[in-house]
Amino acid sequence: MTQQMDLNQRFEEYIALDQKIEAKDWMPDAYRKTLIRQISQHAHSEIIGMQPEGNWITRAPSLKRKSILLAKVQDEAGHGLYLYSAAETLGISRDEMLDALHTGKAKYSSIFNYPTLTWADMGSIGWLVDGAAIMNQVPLCKCSYGPYARAMVRVCKEESFHQRQGFQIMLNLSQGTSEQKDMAQDALNRWWWPSLMMFGPSDASSKHSKQSMRWKIKRFSNDELRQRFVDMTVPQAELIGLTIPDSDLKWNEETGHYEFGPIDWSEFEQVVAGNGPCNRERIETRVAAHENGAWVRDAAAAYAEKVADRESRQTSAA
Amino acid sequence: MAGREYEWILRFGDDALVLAQRLSEWCSHGPAIEEDIALSNIALDLLGQARALLTLAGRREGQGRDEDALAYFRTDREYSNALLVELPNGHFGDTIVKQMLFDQFAVLRYEALANQCVDEELAAIASKALKEVRYHAAHSTQWVVRLGDGTKESHLRVQESLNTLWPYTAELFEDDAVSKACADAEVMPLNASFKEPWSTQLQNILNEAKLLNPESTEFHTGGRTGRHTEHLKSMLAEMQVLPRTYPLAEW
């Protein structure tokens, strides 16, 4: 018991000194569990997040746009892989994590439960959704768990490229035909509020925030990050002549921040609870890919075993 | 003569574009995340080849058509890809066998173009593409071996894939006025010249994968002159929907 207390105290001191915790270091169970939950949720979000954009690869309006979008969705698969690997350092397997995703035990970012209805949604996802993700993720590059922090450095570099290409799509649409302008405004109308919800519940009602801040997994509160996102995005919308769908939005000279209207948290709760427009489809698609691929994975495993077997027989014969 | 040049470059470009479009349909449906990444990567390479080839074809045509005009504003009857690459993806084994059959051909074709072609621009595109398709061929061939020599189920499935796709392979080696003009212009030897090295390579792969060479004598052709399967039109309808719905828009 005393030994346990010593370990815990040393861990807390280590964190206080801004040192990185590595995979083989001692860590409290709750810290390990929190990280597994957060990193696997993040990995799942990358994997499920491939679907709403993957939906438009075959219909991209130019070959250049098609290759940019394909590369982007491929990056997301890559992020999913690094993040699953980072979570595996904490003693959970990718299969266990995927199983939790497929059975609905694990969550992923609710934003991906909204449908992508027009090409402008590719712009809005890059601009707003990836923009919000970067706000959340840049501080994670300094998070106390080393393998997660290092994975996030690479993820963030690619995300900022995604955000720029999303904004570029919106810029082009806003300078295009009247139909294209309408498409851009419609997409902003649909993605704005869900993007603000990506930062999670307000600080007063966020159940994991406090402990995570103490452990330096989280560095800024949900509300701080949300405000930073609004302050960054509103002038960008103005620049391309689009209107943020919030009649309460106004600049506050004194605080130096934009004030914005109340968020409809009942919608957020509905989507988190599984009742969003695409929750069922996203999981069904993921489960179908996994199940349809079972015979392929089995064959690869059987073949690898045969090869190993042949090699060991050759070695023993020699 | 310029017309013919446009036609043969377009054939190479259409093969790459249609296969890229098919492979991109796999995105987020692969059997493992690693394969999602690999298939998207291959699709990206093919798309890059298609863009370079269509751009060059448009320039040689001299009517002011760029890569997008050629990709989005031709009908299926104007597409000149081989039938093999337009076939629907089917399951992973179908896709991988189709890919292997085509990749092994693409390696031979790009080798010839990279090494012998007198058209310097085309040769430069081919040299870059050759490095890519060698990697694609290694990927698809390794998978054919794994699946052929994997489990009983995987063996049966890919043998079936091979039997179904086989009738679409002969078209790759056919020659006509365009390919003969291409050979006369010292761009590339006749397609028929690739048949023997391709068959030898294929036999080695099938032996290693414990698969049987299909005995079918049924063969399909027509892609090079715009007589396609029923599948190409729906594939293009999806691919071309935005530029055709909003013809005045730029993206």
Domains (range + CATH), chain B = 2-211+222-245 (1.20.1260.10)
Cα diameter, chain A: 83
Give the C-alpha separation, B45 to B132, whole Å.
7
Q: Which of A70, A177, A180 sits opposite B44 (nearest CB)?
A: A70
Q: Please answer yes or no on whether A77 and B37 come within 8 Å at the CB atom.
A: yes
pLDDT in tens, B149-202: 999 999 999 999 999 999 999 999 999 999 999 999 999 999 999 999 999 999
B-chain residues near A95 (CB < 8 A):
none
Alpha carbons A57 and B234: distance in angstroms, whole number: 15
In tens, the pLDDT along A127-181 reads 999 999 999 999 999 999 999 999 999 999 999 999 999 999 999 999 999 999 9
Q: Which helix (H) or strand (E) holds B236?
A: helix B231-239
Which among A57, A81, A293 has CB closest to B30? A293
What would you measure as the largest C-alpha separation in chain B, in angstroms?
Answer: 54
Q: Which of B19, B26, B27, B95 to mutate to test the interface with A (most CBs of A within 10 A)?
A: B27
pLDDT grade for B247, boundaries at 50, 70 and 90 = very high
Q: How far apart are the C-alpha atoms of B195 and A114, rounded to whole Å?
A: 50
Would you state the pLDDT for residue B157?
Answer: 98
| Nearest beta carbon to residue A303 from set B17, B33, B146 | B146
Q: Is B232 exposed, middle or buried (0-12, 13-18, 19+ CB in 10 A)?
A: buried
Chain B neighbors of A62, CB-CB under 8 A: 68, 72, 243, 251
Which residue in chain B has the smallest CA separation from A172?
A: B251
**φ/ψ (deg, to 5) at B191:** -55, -35
Q: Compute the nearest-CA separation of B33 from chain A (Å).
A: 6
Given a cut of 90, whether residue A204 has pLDDT beyond it is: no
B interface mutation test: which of A88, A295, A307 has the most B CBs within 10 A? A295
Q: How far is A152 from chain B (nearest CA, A)?
A: 19
Closest Cα in chain A, distance from residue B66 (Å) = 11
DSSP string, A148-200: HHHHHHHHHHHHHHHHHHHHHHHHHHHTS-HHHHHHHHHHHHHHHHHHHHTT-
Contact criterion met (CB < 8 Å) for B249 and A61? yes
Task: Determine whether the interchain pair A176/B67 forms a contact, defined as Cβ–Cβ distance below 8 Å.
Answer: no
> Tens of pLDDT along A8-38?
999 999 899 989 999 999 999 999 999 999 9
pLDDT of residue B1 exceeding 50, the answer is no
Q: Say whether pLDDT at B31 is over 70.
A: yes
3-state secondary structure of A117: coil
Q: What CA–CA distances, in Å, run from A161 to A74, A76, A191, B87?
A: 13, 12, 19, 34
Q: Of A41-50, A98-107, A199-208, B181-190, give the lowest mean pLDDT range.
A: A199-208
Beta carbons of A176 and B250 less than 8 Å apart = yes
- Which residues in chain B have their CB less than 8 angstroms from residue A64's CB? 51
What contacts A237, CB < 8 A, 6 or more positions away? Answer: A188, A243, A244
**A145 φ, ψ to 5°?**
-95, 115
Q: What is the pLDDT of residues B41-65, one digit of tens each?
A: 999 999 999 999 999 999 999 999 9
pLDDT of A207 above 80: no
Nearest CA in chain B to A72: B40
Chain B residue nearest residue A306, CA to CA:
B150
A1 pLDDT above the threshold of 60? no
- pTM of the prediction? 0.95
A206 falls in which pLDDT band (50, 70, 90)?
confident
Identity at A276, one-letter amino acid code: G
CB B187 within 8 A of CB B122: yes
Inter-chain touch B40–A73, beta carbons under 8 Å: yes
Closest approach of B57 to chain A, Cα-based (Å): 15
Q: What is the pLDDT of chain B when averaged over all its residues?
A: 96
Amino acid found at B186: E
Q: What percent of chain A has pLDDT over 90?
A: 86
Q: How far is B159 from chain A (nearest CA, A)?
A: 14
Does residue A52 have a pLDDT over 70? Answer: yes
CA distance A226 to A238: 18
Chain mean pLDDT for chain A: 94
| Residues in chain B within 8 Å Cβ distance of A179 | 246, 249
For residues A188-216, average pLDDT: 89
ipTM of the complex: 0.97
Query: What is the arithmetic mean of pLDDT over B109-138?
Result: 97
